Structure 1
Amino acid sequence: MDIRLLNQEDAKEYRKIRLEALKNNPEAFSSSFEEEKEFPVENYESRLQSEVSFTFGVFEKEQLIGVGTLLKEQKSKLKHRANIVAMYVSPLKRGMGIGKSIMQAAIQKAKDAEEIEQINLCVVSTNMSAKKLYTSLGFKTFGIEQKALKIDGRYFDDEYMVLFL
């Protein structure tokens, strides 16, 4: 397996796994499959060219099987922070350390950026495996937003976590 930063040439593969993620785990993302399925591949190309967003991907035989993005804050008072967003590993590849590899790469990228002092993330409170992974890497919970998402009349709570570098 190969992990690397994605670029605009990876946009089609990224779009494919992103839509898979939104379909398989709608409770884990604020975007929906119905909204993003209409986005052209150019939207993903521009995301992967950003100077403040770093998307890591894990490939197995040319197929993208896991992704995660480190997003640097831009406002002057927030530049000491970054966020982990859009984490996803294909269901058949979970439990193999792929998510941990993505997180470690993102954490290292944040450490390499001198201004970043902390990484924040948000995880749906029922996702025990993700919470276990984040805790094992040093993230600590600092808050819970009740009823953060509403999908088909059902509510999901979000847990906010932070890692101080």
Structure 2
Amino acid sequence: MEVKLLNSADAAAYWELRLEALKENPESFATSYEDVLKRKQPVEQVAENFKMDGNFTFGAFDNKQLIGVVTLLQEKPQKLNHRANIFAMYVTPLKRESGIGKALLTAAIKKAQTMEEIEKINLTVVTSNKEAKRLYSKLGFNVFGMEEKAIKLNNCYYDEEHMVLFMN
């Protein structure tokens, strides 16, 4: 398994894995599968996102197949650019519990540590996702709040915990 920073050449593979994530775990993402299917030129949009300043998407590969991703995104406004956020964390189901999530998140944290202005990383996690919560806690993230009914899917509500990791 190899973890690397994705670039525009990886956009199509990322898009396929993103669609899988939205189908497999719709409760874990604010974006819906149906919404992303309406996007025009989604692979090109992904490729452009990979080029944006402060946007770092890491991918885990197994035999050249993309099996996991995570995005670290630095906030842009001057008063908020000391913060970064973790988004779109996903590992394909057959490869879970093999250290891939930890490797991806560790790569994102290490990248944030190289960025002088980043003082903390925020993320949100659905409260029912015990494995993800355990991983985030193990890597030093702490809960600082909970949002009830953060996501509504098929008339079912999901709460989200807000977590933070302060850089030292």
- TM-score calculated relative to the size of structure 1: 0.98
Report what 1:91 is aligned to. 93
CA distance in 2: counterparts of 1:103 and 1:51, whole angstroms: 19
Equivalent residues in 2 for 1:67-146, closer than 5 Å: 67-146=69-148
Report what 2:47 is aligned to. 45
CA distance in 2: counterparts of 1:71 and 1:93, whole angstroms: 25
- What is the CA deviation profile of residues 88-133 of structure 1, one whole-angstrom value per residue up to 9, with x for unaligned ones? 0000000000000001000000000000000000000000000000
What SS is found at the alignment partner of 1:148?
A: strand
- Aligned identity (percent) is 54
Deviation at 1:87, TM superposition (A): 0.1
Residues 1:3 and 2:3 aligned together: yes
- What is the CA deviation profile of residues 32-82 of structure 1, one whole-angstrom value per residue up to 9, with x for unaligned ones? 111112332111111111112100000011110000000001111111110
CA distance in 2: counterparts of 1:37 and 1:109, whole angstroms: 31
Structure 1 gaps, min length 5: none
Amino acid of the structure 1 residue aligned with 2:87: V
Report what 1:27 is aligned to. 27
Structure 2 gaps, min length 5: none
Report what 1:13 is aligned to. 13
CA distance in 1: counterparts of 2:10 and 2:125, whole angstroms: 26
CA distance in 2: counterparts of 1:94 and 1:38, whole angstroms: 29
Stretch of structure 1 that moved more, 31-40 or 139-148: 31-40
What SS is found at the alignment partner of 2:87?
A: strand
Report what 1:162 is aligned to. 164
CA distance in 2: counterparts of 1:126 and 1:61, whole angstroms: 31
Amino acid of the structure 2 residue aligned with 1:11: A
CA distance in 2: counterparts of 1:37 and 1:48, whole angstroms: 19
CA distance in 2: counterparts of 1:151 and 1:13, whole angstroms: 26
CA distance in 2: counterparts of 1:161 and 1:16, whole angstroms: 28
CA distance in 2: counterparts of 1:36 and 1:5, whole angstroms: 23
CA distance in 1: counterparts of 2:35 and 2:15, whole angstroms: 13
CA distance in 1: counterparts of 2:119 and 2:52, whole angstroms: 21
CA distance in 1: counterparts of 2:112 and 2:45, whole angstroms: 24
